[in-house]
Structure 1
């Protein structure tokens, strides 16, 4: 988080428990627990009868409560509602058929000696496979098309360190002014990274070619490709239909007669049913799913000064959870009238333009179930939020502010542009629109110093999951 560094003893990539611990440390440090109602489930948000406040209905410890608020931000996550594919004749199947959201590591014993089909190649699919592989008799990987899959490490260096503010902004420049060039360069770069990360890929796996990064997000997995190479996981085409209690036909005609479980790691979408006030529409010549009318995928135009939905932008984050700080600053500034809103007609016009862009994305990739309505144009989405949040990151650009900052502090200018991309930069510049953090400079310097340990030369010093990936990779070569 921008004003709360992670503990020094944390590894480059956190476990689930460490991430939860960090969030709890953050909440205690800023004394937030007193303002949180636990064991509460949001049921619905609507306007009250005279349209002056928001009526929030929640279930607290099994009891329904209704309260009214002036302003509301819905932060229940864009990975809330599981997207479960529909398979022909699935009622014939007598084994386990479920979404990966239902999977629990403590239940792995139920897969002992079983034949399991994992649908999808996402990071979640990789996690589930890792859990069941030591117990299952056979694990298959079923997917309809290719996907860019990258390891979390590259040459014994965390892959995150490939990115910097300067590289990201250069990409945004191309996306804004030369979108076709940006797409071509992005896809070619990802093709290169795939081949240099994994070496030769068996064409029968159909990992490549992958849909363009402008249509489908890449996955992060240290295991899927090494396990395929080692023969411990078998690649299959997409599921066509179920033929019987344990029998499945795949789209290439393959039939397996002994499948005990099918687990679908097929993604999520935000649960927008809790916000029935949202309006939807469809652009001309577009026949895809209805599109929610949200300005910058966050604000209902009519209620932009009092309602924000931080659950409908699966794309657009620059460095994961830390970008949520920028979003929260932006929403706060808009709700407090620190950042002015355009007119209602201007916001509606912006939504229409965004929906036209979404329609072009849908037309470019009509693979069933693949279109994500929460897509954003990254350069526009992030640019707006940084401006509204008042992060001052324009002081790292090539304009006058950028050169003035370089003249004033060339070391920090270089590190913040080309060094470690850290959220502490969002609290560095004084802009008058949000609080700075006195520790930002020290935290940025410390982060850049810490990464000098990479690449790690002694394999014994690597995290256990990285060692395991290397070992599986060697098994695949042999």
Structure 2
């Protein structure tokens, strides 16, 4: 966002509460911040997650470690000379309009000292994983062991010789289990229901290479016009993939049946199911309550009396507290879920859409969260500088009302896994690509798509059916953002690089 705004002529200051760039990938021992662990490896491959005009270096493996990701973002910041505009150790606590409603008044703490500054426009880019969603259990005050959220986990040695319950089946849960398993006495995995668990490799290739722009567009078309068929097709495909990847699963694990992947995001792990098969971890029902200093009762009536620690990998909620002074909320009819925030396209407060963006509230909205940040940044910058026009306030509010009714329908189908920040993927992505001016409509089925195909059939095929790389977002000249002269070469290079796949598989491992 800093780069996009500065590139478009704004004078920009970035306030970063950490001491280095990298976000989640910049490890910090501070348990109040979410961080990847030193052992964390990315679930998506390097081929699909470079920046639009800054490719991944060849030196990195197919799936980067957390330190490599941080190094990459540090090099990105230095390459574009961004660090001079970053204030580290700065935590913004509140945003409000000034007295004459002309600027944004930001309250913050910089190196522990209070500060107030005013700006014309503000974009909050603090992400989705900042506010831990910690469950509350009956009787938890009687438990004398460790009860914590996964956000606070740092050191496996804290659990040496202990009996540990991990709550959830997420990628984070898998990561923590792999850390504590060598030192813990016993590890359990407690979950209320089933879910899809996807490998990061598929038939000797990184799994994300199977997703192309063309396939994504077909999915978007079905989601828009044939939503029930799309949900059935997606879930059927994932069921087949689960069976192909893992074989028959023990019913006692309750991994199946899985909730719909279009209502609750699936997890990704190469180790959870193998650990269950090997008996190294045990599957438990959801926690019902704590019944003593070390006792836990589960929803199936089972009780364990020797538990030392419970770590909850129960996800995060969007942290919109900084915007509490001006964000509005509402409830659609026939809906009893959590109060819904009124933001146009889940990004812009409608009254201040030309000067405020909150990029932490759009679940299901990104194709690849890492590289798609470029598209979001270009879209916000174009709206801030008036290159992409905003609809009237009345139109934005009508759109929010319709979107909230769509959310209510999702809540009625699956209240347990309901995400109030969900967006219609096809609508959200189309809007951002249009606002950003990426020109991706040149890869569609319309006359622009056919024109590009006949002008350059090889490139058209590669961008539609090859590696889904962010460099495509800087390829076409649209007049709404800068192109990158290296885009063509980088796209070709990425597609050449993946020709080494599929790799041979040996004893369940990719060589």
TM-score (ref. length: structure 2)? 0.89
Match of 1:278 in 2: 327
1:470 aligns with 2:509: yes
Task: Kindly report the root-mean-square deviation, in angstroms, between the aligned alpha carbons of the 2 structures.
Answer: 1.1
Match of 2:99 in 1: 49
Partner of 1:320: helix, strand, or coil?
coil
1:203 aligns with 2:237: no
* Structure with the higher fraction of residues in helix conformation: 1
- Kindly state the Cα deviation for residue 319 of structure 1 after the two structures are TM-superposed: 1.2
1:23 aligns with 2:73: yes
Match of 2:304 in 1: 256
Structural mapping, 1:33-112, within 5 Å? 33-104=83-154, 107-112=155-160
Partner of 1:435: helix, strand, or coil?
coil
Structural mapping, 1:174-323, within 5 Å? 174-276=222-324, 277-323=326-372
Residues of 1 paired with 2:234 and 2:309: CA distance? 37
Residues of 2 paired with 1:395 and 1:177: CA distance? 21
444, 447, 462: which is aligned to 1:397? 444
Mark the runs of 5 or more structure 2 residues left unpaired by the alignment: 1-50
Match of 1:331 in 2: 380
- Kindly state the Cα deviation for residue 328 of structure 1 after the two structures are TM-superposed: 0.3
Residues of 2 paired with 1:302 and 1:262: CA distance? 44
Match of 1:464 in 2: none
- Kindly state the Cα deviation for residue 343 of structure 1 after the two structures are TM-superposed: 0.4
463, 474, 484: which is aligned to 1:427? 474
Structural mapping, 1:401-416, within 5 Å? 401-416=448-463
- Kindly state the Cα deviation for residue 314 of structure 1 after the two structures are TM-superposed: 2.6
Residues of 1 paired with 2:461 and 2:262: CA distance? 29
Deviations, residues 240-276 of structure 1 (Å, cap 9, x unaligned): 0101111101000111110000000000012111112
- Kindly state the Cα deviation for residue 379 of structure 1 after the two structures are TM-superposed: 0.3
- Kindly state the Cα deviation for residue 455 of structure 1 after the two structures are TM-superposed: 1.2
Match of 2:34 in 1: none
Residues of 2 paired with 1:291 and 1:13: CA distance? 36
Deviations, residues 437-463 of structure 1 (Å, cap 9, x unaligned): 00000000000000011111275xxxx
Contact 2:438 2:478 in 1 (8 A): yes
Residues of 2 paired with 1:33 and 1:178: CA distance? 46
Contact 2:204 2:505 in 1 (8 A): no
Partner of 2:509: helix, strand, or coil?
helix
Match of 1:463 in 2: none
Partner of 2:371: helix, strand, or coil?
helix
Mark the runs of 5 or more structure 1 residues left unpaired by the alignment: 460-466, 472-478
Residues of 2 paired with 1:57 and 1:371: CA distance? 32
Does the C-alpha gap of structure 1 residues 379 and 458 become closer, same or farther in structure 2, counting only changes over 3 Å? closer
Structural mapping, 1:308-387, within 5 Å? 308-367=357-416, 370-387=417-434
Match of 1:134 in 2: 182
| Runs of 4+ displaced beyond 4 Å | none
Partner of 1:46: helix, strand, or coil?
strand
Contact 2:190 2:284 in 1 (8 A): yes
TM-score (ref. length: structure 1)? 0.95
Residues of 2 paired with 1:237 and 1:448: CA distance? 44
